[in-house]
Chains A and B, each alone.
Chain A
């Protein structure tokens, strides 16, 4: 086999395994973080009995889910019913393949990028995968062959495609500034000229709102709220398959937070790190840590907003997406193009 091909394959396999492991652990602990932070906001204690500070709680939850009985209703359309959780889970994970978590490092003479795939149109890959995520929801609703699931799936996927537009347009602002579709170029541009959030604040807010809607989190979680349509599109799922939906929501949250940091908050860039004069490997480690801290901050914001804002009604939600966010995003694009043209950034 060709030497270079083998090298690339091994490198990618190691990176993929590492990313996969880290993200799934993060998802598991995100459930605990959510419960503890919610408890803190609501002035009570969260789970703190299982292990020190409740750190083994996700393990207990995982074991519980594994032992739950998996009931497959007889009236579902089985092939699509089994496929739907994967269609939500996989695109969210694959989005991570184009996000850079650190600068390129030199290991044993090889230049290793801390990114699985450095494609020239990374942003388009992200948009494509978020478009794919809509299918999981719609097909889960359809294949369950029940009125509530169908309506829930329809509502949820309509919400997803409505906010995709606003998200795409806010990303266009970032693209115009960076002049390239590569995520590495976007991060490098923010390293040189200051983070995008500083001069594209409206775009950042639009992106964050759209990300909340895309991940079906409060205040946009009407499709899966407890008092609405039973449980929406995942009514007929139980046991391990239900936990896949649950985990997919957290993976989507982590992906959206990673995107928000990469596109607007400088990704792995730490302002002023070059002044410290650290050896390159240590500097890379600090930057990876900075990336993780930024993503963690956005995840905290997710939980914070959940317990701060009330839920939107469905028509208010669609109103916001089409009549307020979309024109705002268009105006933002015009404004950013003006600034880029005048070279003021």
Chain B
């Protein structure tokens, strides 16, 4: 039963967060409690470890938690680290969804190049943690949260209302799907124009970035 196990693990995580919040010095104690609790739960329900639902649920939980922390953490560098965790979770999702090439490309490009760019900029500008998280003005803030919640509710309703029942089972699909060969074949035949246009876009972006960030030589 994967869902109850997930709920129990989240409960243990919440206890860890509470202990950490109330006794910041006793990190070791909190960590031990977390580790022992998680280990005990996993030992009791080890059958759930084999079900795909459990892992997808766990990775999804980590992805959403890290996304929330990206948005609310005051230190920009720590936001970047949480975004990297999120990108890793999404790469794992790609692996589950039979997009092996895209998973590797996600890590190489997103987590390995774009995020390094962000880290460089934060280090160059020497950005410190914001003293007292600065958010936009109250009307915009609450409006955003309200509309965001409404948006999520709308999307959930739309997704739940799908008429076709699509099930994924292991071993149901072609193993060459999602490999580099298929993607490359499509890129160079059917989507060749888009491919060349993307390369043009990258050159324009490269030139733009170099020109914009260059120090003006007096």
Contacts and interface: CB of A to CB of B under 8 A. Distances in A.
Contacts of A153: 123
A139 B101 CA distance: 28
Nearest to A131: B112
A275 interface: no
Interface stretch (A117-125, A296-304, A325-333): A117-125
B78 A132 contact: no
A154 B111 CA distance: 17
A158 B179 CA distance: 31
B120 to A, nearest CB: 7
Contacts of B111: 128, 131-132
Given A80-B78, A121-B104, A158-B120, A128 B50 contact: no
B119 interface: yes
B123 A134 contact: no
Contacts of B112: 127-128, 131-132, 134
A5 interface: yes
A227 interface: no
B171 to A, nearest CB: 12
B116 A161 contact: yes
Contacts of B180: 120-121, 124, 181
B108 A131 contact: yes
Contacts of A141: 123
Interface in A36-70: none
Instruction: Tell me the dominant secondary structure on chain A's binding face.
Output: helix
Contacts of B50: 1-2, 5
The contact size tier of chain A is 20 to 34
Contacts of A121: 100-101, 104, 179-180
B39 to A, nearest CB: 18
Interface string B175-190: 0000110000000000
Residue of A119, A120, A158 ringed by the most chain B CB atoms within 10 A: A120
Contact of A138 (B78, B107, B119): B119
Interface in A91-138: 119-121, 124-125, 127-128, 131-132, 134-135, 138
B89 interface: no
Given A127-B108, A157-B120, 12 more contacts: A1-B50, A120-B180, A121-B100, A121-B179, A125-B104, A127-B104, A132-B107, A150-B126, A153-B123, A154-B120, A154-B124, A158-B120
14 contacts: A80-B81, A121-B104, A121-B180, A124-B101, A124-B108, A127-B104, A128-B108, A134-B116, A135-B84, A135-B116, A138-B116, A139-B81, A139-B119, A150-B126
- Which 5 A/B pairs are nearest by Cβ-Cβ distance? A131-B112, A124-B104, A128-B107, A128-B108, A138-B119
Interface of B: 50, 77-78, 81, 84, 100-101, 104-105, 107-108, 111-113, 116, 119-120, 122-124, 126, 179-180
